[in-house]
């Protein structure tokens, strides 16, 4: 069964490009959210396997969204156009599956993190 | 001068007449001492009134007290056996007490400005005129007006003769004026004392004490109305109490005037005292000379058109009011300074001006000092503002790079990769796309570096410790970190970060070091940053170098940057930035 993904990022162009690429790589993008509040609303409704979560959201920090989702069924993969070293300590202390720089995003990369945790 | 002489002569002559009328007309009911004492009270008022009038021609207190003196003397003419003389002066006799109360309430400025006090005087003048007039209209001499006169007399203007009603009016008058109004008067004086500033209280206290003594005696008089006949001993005692209080009243006013004279002598000492005084002492010396410990000095900055204190801090001059008064000091029409002082001093404008003139040189000196300090403070503030503005700008550029160009390139990379997926493998187009993606990733990485150099986002988000950790991680060298976990003001964090950044870059480029250490600790309001290495040394902050630019930045925040670097002994860059907790 195809893994389902929710893409959370405030840049529409990135969301569109990510949706296309992930679907070509065999994942099913079930929804998109442009900010943290929408993401927190959509996760219970859509019940995705994976939440692709941008660290720098316009309303709340991606880390805060991850804290809210912790304990649920959806696994979090952080994305950012910044380098992991520039993201500080909350990245390391979060319960996320891992981190992928936005420009290196591929379906395989996401699935690799998913499988490593399973 | 002749006018003054005439008034004095009239006062003295009238005193003799008043004395004679009382002694001759009252006979066994009075004594020469009593008659003399009353004249002495009036003369004390005359003396104080005339001195006040001469010293303060603009102050209405002098005329008021002189008028009270004459009223007190004329009052005695009501003892005349001639009905018309009795009638005329009986009508006016009690107004003299209203004039005395008016004088007290008009002290020291000469005007009664308080609404309550004005209302009190209006009632007082009306009652002291209306009651005697009403009594005269019904008083036929059949009964004795005990509180006004030991002898019964005839009114010349009786309309309806009614002895009982005259006695009732007398009782009402004594209760209302001597009892109630005198009590209110005491209340007003106590209210004044409570409300006065410390200096004002010192000036008012003796006068008000004397006035209260006089008024208290009047209140007792009101109470005795209901006693059939007070003992002669008590009555004599009360009489002399009143006389002493009454003489003390105008004398305490004179004392107030003499105080100002003595203070003026103190101004002379100011000139000597201030000759070599440092600017800060000018205020103290003026406060001492004017007996006002609350005195403040504000200096005029002509270039900026505002007042500042001795340290150059801004000062807003208060409105003249109940708590504070302002005297501006000019020199050749140009403002030099302003004295903010107790309003009680406003009664002595010439004294304050004399003190200001005596202190003029020292004030001018202190003004220049304050001006320099104010300019220095302005420069310091603007320097810190420039640094803060530059930091804001860098943060904005970093955000723009991150949200703009970087996002577009990222999206483009993903689109290219999608296109790649749609193609058959191993074609030329796929290889081309592969290269494009790699090229784009390199561009993204370069942009990332650039944005980080402009302003690291992690510094804003997590603070200095986290940002330095990330920096140490990227540095191709072993870096030993010891940085306190706490958030500091943004300009301090940014400056400290860039100091470490530049110092570590220099270590990597020039020092041939094997390791470096970074320490940042806040102690006694200073953030101390130290970057040390074990390299070849010989570094220094040359003008135009990265470190010298940072040194300017650190100094703009009131700190300093030192580079210690002996040949072969490694390099230590130490920065200290003021940083309140």
Residue of B573, B523, B570 whose CA lies nearest to B548: B573
Architecture of the structural domain at B463-578: 2-Layer Sandwich (3.30)
**Could you give the percent of chain B with pLDDT greater than 70?**
93
What DSSP letter does each residue of B57-98 carry, written as one string? TT-THHHHHHHHHHHHHHHGGGG-SSHHHHHHHHHHHTHHHH
- The minimum CA-CA distance between B484 and chain A, rounded to whole Å, is 15
**Rounded to 5 degrees, what are φ and ψ at A3?**
-75, 140
**Rounded to 5 degrees, what are φ and ψ at B80?**
-65, 145
Q: Taking CB atoms and an 8 Å limit, are A88 and B402 in contact across chains?
A: no
pLDDT at B447: 86
Burial class for B108, CB neighbours closer than 10 Å (0-12, 13-18, 19+):
buried
Mean pLDDT computed over B513-533: 93
**Using an 8 Å Cβ cutoff, are B53 and B66 in contact?**
yes
Substitution target in A86, A93, A100 with the highest count of B β-carbons within 10 Å is A86
Q: Does B332 touch chain A (CB under 8 A)?
A: no
CB atoms closer than 10 angstroms to residue B394: 17
Q: Does B13 touch chain A (CB under 8 A)?
A: no
CA pair distance B212, B196, nearest whole angstrom:
16
pLDDT at B225: 64
Tokens of B496: 């400290």
A4 within some domain: no
Q: Taking CB atoms and an 8 Å limit, are B441 and A105 in contact across chains?
A: no
Residues of A in contact with B408 (CB under 8 A): 13
Q: Does B455 touch chain A (CB under 8 A)?
A: no
What DSSP letter does each residue of A18-62 carry, written as one string? HHHHHHHTT-EEEEEESSHHHHHHHHHHH--SEEEEESB-SSSBH
Q: Taking CB atoms and an 8 Å limit, are B440 and A103 in contact across chains?
A: yes
A82 within some domain: yes
How close are the terminal C-alpha atoms of chain A, in Å?
15
A62 within some domain: yes
pLDDT at B200: 72
Q: What does the pLDDT look like over B447-474, one tens digit per residue?
A: 888 888 888 888 988 899 999 999 998 8
Q: Does B399 touch chain A (CB under 8 A)?
A: no
* 3 state SS of B152: coil
Domain boundaries, chain B: 2-261, 280-375, 404-455, 463-578
Checking if the pLDDT of B553 tops 80, the result is: yes
Average confidence score pLDDT of chain B: 83
Q: Does B441 touch chain A (CB under 8 A)?
A: yes
- The minimum CA-CA distance between A6 and chain B, rounded to whole Å, is 17
CA pair distance B92, B215, nearest whole angstrom:
20
Q: Which of residues 468-487 of B touch A (CB under 8 A)?
A: 469-470, 473-474
pLDDT at B529: 95
Q: Taking CB atoms and an 8 Å limit, are B452 and A86 in contact across chains?
A: yes
Mean pLDDT computed over B477-503: 92
Q: What does the pLDDT look like over B88-105, one tens digit per residue?
A: 898 888 899 899 999 888
pLDDT at B277: 67
**Using an 8 Å Cβ cutoff, are B549 and B512 in contact?**
no
CATH number for position A43 = 3.40.50.2300
Q: Taking CB atoms and an 8 Å limit, are A11 and B411 in contact across chains?
A: yes
A3 within some domain: no
Q: Taking CB atoms and an 8 Å limit, are A82 and B457 in contact across chains?
A: yes
Q: Taking CB atoms and an 8 Å limit, are A103 and B414 in contact across chains?
A: yes
CA pair distance B376, A90, nearest whole angstrom:
44
Nearest to B407 among A14, A25, A87 (CB): A14
> Bridge-partner residues for B531, per DSSP?
B518, B573
pLDDT at B110: 80
- The minimum CA-CA distance between A43 and chain B, rounded to whole Å, is 24
CA pair distance A105, A89, nearest whole angstrom:
22
CB atoms closer than 10 angstroms to residue A72: 12
* 3 state SS of A63: helix
A17 within some domain: yes
**Using an 8 Å Cβ cutoff, are B484 and B507 in contact?**
no
A45: containing domain = 9-117
Q: Taking CB atoms and an 8 Å limit, are A85 and B462 in contact across chains?
A: no
**Using an 8 Å Cβ cutoff, are B472 and B479 in contact?**
yes
Lowest mean pLDDT among A8-17, B152-161, B222-231, B556-565: B222-231
Q: Taking CB atoms and an 8 Å limit, are A13 and B408 in contact across chains?
A: yes
> Bridge-partner residues for B335, per DSSP?
B330
Residues of B in contact with A24 (CB under 8 A): 418, 421-422
A16 within some domain: yes
pLDDT at B58: 76
Substitution target in B404, B418, B479 with the highest count of A β-carbons within 10 Å is B418
Q: Kindly list the strands in the beta sheet with B572-578, ordered across the sheet, starting from the edge strand earlier in the chain.
A: B478-483, B515-523, B526-533, B572-578, B560-564
Confidence of residue B358 (pLDDT cuts 50, 70, 90): confident
pLDDT at B337: 85
- The minimum CA-CA distance between A29 and chain B, rounded to whole Å, is 15
Checking if the pLDDT of B258 tops 80, the result is: no
CA pair distance B353, B361, nearest whole angstrom:
14
* Contacting residues for B558 by C-beta, under 8 A, at least 6 apart: B380, B384, B577, B578
CB atoms closer than 10 angstroms to residue B91: 20
Confidence of residue B268 (pLDDT cuts 50, 70, 90): low
- Global model pTM greater than 0.80: no
Instruction: Spell out the alpha helix ranges (H) of B112-181.
Output: 115-138, 163-173
Q: Does A116 touch chain B (CB under 8 A)?
A: no
**Interface ipTM:** 0.86
Q: Taking CB atoms and an 8 Å limit, are B466 and A88 in contact across chains?
A: yes
CA pair distance B100, B250, nearest whole angstrom:
9
A1 within some domain: no
CA pair distance B45, B50, nearest whole angstrom:
8
Residues of A in contact with B457 (CB under 8 A): 56, 82, 86
What residues in chain A have per-residue pLDDT under 70? Answer: 1, 118
Nearest to A85 among B412, B417, B470 (CB): B470
Residues of B in contact with A14 (CB under 8 A): 407, 410-411, 414
Residue B216's H or E segment, with its range, is helix B198-224
* 3 state SS of B180: helix
How close are the terminal C-alpha atoms of chain B, in Å?
72
Q: Taking CB atoms and an 8 Å limit, are A21 and B444 in contact across chains?
A: no
Burial class for B244, CB neighbours closer than 10 Å (0-12, 13-18, 19+):
middle
**CATH class of the domain at B2-261:** mainly alpha
Residue of B282, B295, B306, B279 whose CA lies nearest to B368: B279
Lowest mean pLDDT among A37-46, B39-48, B70-79, B315-324: B315-324
A83 within some domain: yes
Q: Does A21 touch chain B (CB under 8 A)?
A: yes
The number of domains in chain A is 1
Burial class for B54, CB neighbours closer than 10 Å (0-12, 13-18, 19+):
exposed
Are B2-261 and B463-578 in the same CATH fold? no
* 3 state SS of B394: helix
- The minimum CA-CA distance between B481 and chain A, rounded to whole Å, is 15
């Amino acid at each position: 069964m195809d893994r389902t993904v929710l893409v959370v990022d405030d840049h529409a162009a990135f969301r569109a490009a990510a949706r296309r690429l992930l679907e070509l790589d065999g994942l099913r993008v079930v929804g998109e959210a442009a900010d943290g509040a929408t993401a927190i609303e959509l996760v219970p409704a859509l019940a995705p396997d994976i939440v692709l979560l941008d660290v720098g959201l316009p309303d709340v920090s991606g880390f805060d969204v991850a804290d809210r989702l912790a304990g649920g069924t959806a696994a979090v993969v952080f994305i950012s156009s910044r380098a992991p070293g520039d993201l500080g300590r909350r990245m390391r202390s979060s319960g996320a599956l891992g981190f992928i720089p936005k420009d290196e995003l591929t379906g395989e990369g996401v699935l690799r993190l998913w499988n490593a945790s399973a | 001068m002749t006018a003054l002489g005439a008034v004095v002569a009239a006062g003295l002559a009238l005193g003799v007449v008043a004395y004679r009328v009382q002694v001759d007309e009252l006979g066994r009911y009075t004594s020469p001492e009593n008659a003399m004492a009353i004249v002495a009270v009036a003369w004390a008022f005359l003396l104080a009134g005339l001195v006040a009038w001469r010293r303060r021609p603009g102050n209405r207190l002098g005329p008021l007290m002189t008028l009270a003196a004459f009223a007190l003397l004329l009052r005695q003419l009501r003892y005349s056996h001639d009905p018309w003389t009795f009638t005329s002066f009986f009508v006016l006799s009690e107004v003299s007490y209203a004039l005395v109360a008016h004088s007290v309430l008009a002290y020291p400025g000469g005007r009664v400005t308080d609404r309550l006090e004005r209302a009190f005087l209006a009632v007082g003048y009306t009652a002291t005129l209306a009651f005697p007039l009403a009594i005269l209209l019904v008083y036929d001499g059949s009964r004795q007006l005990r509180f006004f006169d030991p002898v019964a007399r005839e009114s010349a203007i009786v309309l309806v003769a009614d002895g009982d009603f005259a006695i009732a009016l007398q009782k009402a008058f004594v209760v209302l004026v001597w009892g109630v109004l005198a009590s209110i008067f005491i209340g007003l004086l106590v209210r004044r004392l409570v409300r006065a500033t410390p200096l004002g209280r010192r000036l008012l206290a003796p006068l008000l004490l004397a006035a209260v003594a006089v008024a208290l005696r009047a209140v007792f008089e009101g109470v005795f109305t209901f006693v059939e006949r007070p003992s002669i001993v008590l009555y004599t005692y009360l009489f002399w109490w009143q006389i002493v209080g009454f003489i003390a009243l105008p004398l305490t006013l004179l004392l107030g005037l003499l105080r100002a004279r003595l203070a003026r002598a103190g101004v002379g000492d100011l000139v000597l005292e201030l000759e070599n005084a440092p600017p800060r002492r000018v205020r103290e010396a003026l406060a001492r000379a004017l007996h006002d410990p609350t005195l403040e000095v504000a200096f005029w900055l002509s270039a900026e058109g505002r007042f500042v204190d001795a340290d150059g801090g801004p000062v807003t001059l208060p409105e003249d009011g109940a708590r504070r008064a302002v005297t501006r000091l000019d020199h050749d029409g140009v403002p030099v300074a302003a004295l903010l002082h107790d309003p009680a001093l406003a009664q002595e404008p010439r004294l304050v001006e004399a003190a200001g003139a005596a202190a003029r040189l020292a004030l001018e000196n202190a003004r220049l000092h304050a001006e320099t300090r104010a300019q220095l403070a302005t420069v310091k503030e603007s320097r810190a503002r420039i640094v803060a503005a530059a930091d804001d700008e860098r943060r904005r550029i970093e955000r723009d790079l991150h949200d703009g160009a970087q996002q577009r390139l990222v999206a483009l990379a993903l689109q290219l990769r999608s296109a790649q997926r749609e193609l058959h493998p191993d074609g030329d187009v796929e290889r081309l796309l592969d290269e494009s993606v790699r090229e784009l990733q390199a561009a993204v990485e370069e942009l990332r570096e650039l944005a980080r150099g402009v302003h690291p986002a992690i510094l804003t988000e997590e603070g200095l410790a986290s940002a330095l950790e990330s920096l140490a991680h990227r540095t191709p060298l072993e870096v030993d970190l010891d940085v306190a976990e706490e958030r500091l003001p943004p300009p301090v964090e940014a400056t400290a970060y860039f100091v470490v950044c530049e110092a570590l870059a220099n270590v990597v480029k020039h020092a041939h070091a094997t390791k470096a250490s970074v320490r940042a600790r806040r102690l006694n309001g200073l953030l101390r940053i130290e970057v040390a290495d074990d390299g070849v040394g010989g570094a220094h902050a040359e003008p135009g170098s990265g470190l010298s630019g940072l040194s300017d930045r650190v100094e703009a925040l009131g700190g300093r940057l030192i580079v210690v670097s002996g040949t072969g002994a490694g390099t230590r860059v130490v920065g200290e930035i003021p940083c309140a907790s």
